[in-house]
Amino acid sequence: MLQLWLTTLISLVVAVQGLHFDIAASTDPEQVCIRDFVTEGQLVVVDIHSDGSVGDGQKLNLFVRDSVGNEYRRKRDFAGDVRVAFTAPSSTAFDVCFENQAQYRGRSLSRAIELDIESGAEARDWNKISANEKLKPIEVELRRVEEITDEIVDELTYLKNREERLRDTNESTNRRVRNFSILVIIVLSSLGVWQVNYLKNYFKTKHII
């Protein structure tokens, strides 16, 4: 019972995305992107299914890239099933982008897309692991839960380190603003004293005072 509860809880925490949406065809298409975040070294598997067929008057294009400039897949004019698998070289966000280009004007066309994104332990082929290592179902489930737990801990550690970096940056910025404000006050005060002395000497020279 405890194992079932733990498995259910972790399954709710782990981000496994399943999306279904339509992309209208256009002669000047804009990219529709789905963004997800992945940590360094994680396996990512993107499964895509599109209805329609090649040559039906629209060209569906796919781009998978991350925020640091790596491109993992580029496929033009596809229909049916596409699978993209890659290992993240660093902790970053990545985008799965689609664009649907109409081949003819005046026709209202669209493609239905089913998109599943799995990462980390959820992306691994546990049936293959079970067969290769001759593990029992309960052993496979416990190992999967253990890996998911480790990933959650790693992600929490990353978030903690990121929060510390942001806090340090904020404190450093506050110190710089404070020091700059003090410098501005000193400069303005010095300038005011100089102006008073200058005007005083000027008036004395002109025998005004």
Token look-up 């902790």 returns 91
CB within 8 Å of 170: residues ≥ 6 apart: none
**String of b and e for 77-108 (b: at least 16 CB within 10 Å)?**
ebbeebebebebeebeebebbbbbebeeeeee
Work out the pLDDT band at 186, boundaries 50, 70, 90.
very high
Tell me the mean pLDDT in the region 94-108. Answer: 87
Tokens found for residue 90: 């660093």
| Residue pair 82/128 in contact by the 8 Å Cβ criterion | no
Mean pLDDT, the chain, rounded, equals: 83
pLDDT per position as a tens digit, 108-142: 889 999 999 988 877 777 777 777 777 777 877 78
| pLDDT value of residue 6 | 37
Q: How many residues does the chain have?
A: 209
Q: Which helix (H) or strand (E) holds 179?
A: helix 137-205
Tell me the mean pLDDT in the region 4-25. Answer: 57
What DSSP state is assigned to residue 106? T
Work out the pLDDT band at 209, boundaries 50, 70, 90.
low
> Is residue 181 scored above 90 in pLDDT?
yes
Token look-up 């982008």 returns 97
| pLDDT value of residue 40 | 83
Distance from chain centroid for Cα 203: 67
Across the beta sheet with 110-119, the strand order is: 17-24, 110-119, 43-50, 80-87
Q: Which residue has the higher pLDDT, 75 or 151?
A: 75
pLDDT per position as a tens digit, 16-67: 457 899 999 888 889 999 999 888 888 889 999 999 888 888 999 999 999 8
CA-based nearest residue to 46, from 21, 64, 61: 64
